[in-house]
Amino acid sequence: MQKIGLTGNIGSGKSLVAQIFKTFDIPVFEADVEAKTILYSPEVSKKVVQIFGYGILVDGSISRKKLANLAFNNPALLQKLNNIIHPAVKQKFKQWAELHISKPYIIYEAAILFESGQYKEFDRIITVFADPETRIQRVMQRDEVSRKLVLERMKNQWPDEKKNALADFVISNNNEDLLIPQVENIHLKLSSSR
């Protein structure tokens, strides 16, 4: 079984691409979703509050919005947060992967696969990209956030060109590009290279 990393910058459409892979009966581990779940576990919540302070709490629970505002504007704090969350996500993925050993490949979807250095742990990497303005508009609409906030988040991610150069497969997701044929082509290649 091959382990495939799927990544792309904010608003690129990596989650949509992951959903298409699922239609081909390929298991997808959504690392960012898992990270959000782990964040609310008592042990992790306690560590995060110790670093970021009680100001991130709303009704006794961590406010992801408040946490994001602090973390994405301070690279040192973002690194500390990642150092808490990523080992737990990695352990969950390991357990999850064992359940899908019979598949030709599995996908690990994560936004910062390259930035975290995790890409080295995968057999192949797929990157999804879209032009910056398209991504900005998508995120503003999806998350109901300002352009400024989207640009702040984008600053913490590698440029598309750098990611694309390191990827084994590159999927273009500008509005006029057809995603399904691109994903199907990659699926056929990965399925035949067991």
pLDDT tens sequence across 56-112: 998 888 998 899 888 878 888 988 998 999 889 999 999 999 999 999 999 999 988
Residue 96 in tokens? 């999850």
pLDDT of residue 194: 61
| Domain spans in the chain, listed from the N-terminal domain onward | 2-192
Residue 123 in tokens? 């057999």
| pLDDT averaged over every residue in the chain | 91
Beta strands in the chain (DSSP E): 2-8, 28-30, 57-58, 61-62, 105-109, 124-129, 169-172
d(CA 131, CA 173): 8
pLDDT category at 155 given cuts 50, 70, 90 is confident
CATH assignment of 2-192? Answer: 3.40.50.300
Instruction: Tell me the pTM.
Output: 0.86
